[in-house]
Amino acid sequence: MRLSRTAVHSGMQAEPNVTPFLDVLLVLLIIFMYLSLTQQKVITAQLPDPTPVPGPNTPPIVLEVRPGAMYAINARVVAGAQLAGQLRAVYDGRPEKTLIVRAAPGVRYQEVVTAVDIAKGAGVVGVGLK
């Protein structure tokens, strides 16, 4: 018995069904979109008052970071070991606990971060960089 050519090739053929793959991709896309929206970080910033109220004229405290762990509070030189105590003494009687930090040329960023960290430990609430 001889089979015809069409009978031999009429068996089952495998064709990929992409519909389930597209459904899975759509579900994963929705999950990732939801997760990216819920994990947004918030950065709080304190903006200056557009209509400032005149108050007592207290001079701002400026901390200058100098090379070699040397600092200056309003142009008065302070050693690194005494910085926390000096800042605590300055801010004990002040109602406004803001500080302006200025770095001298050539100072590494890490030294500025260390100075801000010491100031925060001494009770400074707001820090401005100049």
Domains and CATH numbers, the chain: 62-129 (3.30.420.270)
Q: State the pTM of this model.
A: 0.57
Burial 7-18 (b: 16+ CB within 10 A, else e): eeeeeeeeeeee
pLDDT band at 9 (very low <50, low <70, confident <90, very high): low
pLDDT, tens only, 50-60? 776 666 677 88
As a residue count, the chain comes to 130
The predicted-structure confidence for 100-114, as pLDDT tens digits, reads as follows 999 999 899 999 999
CB neighbours of residue 103 within 10 Å: 18
Residue 67 predicted with pLDDT over 60: yes
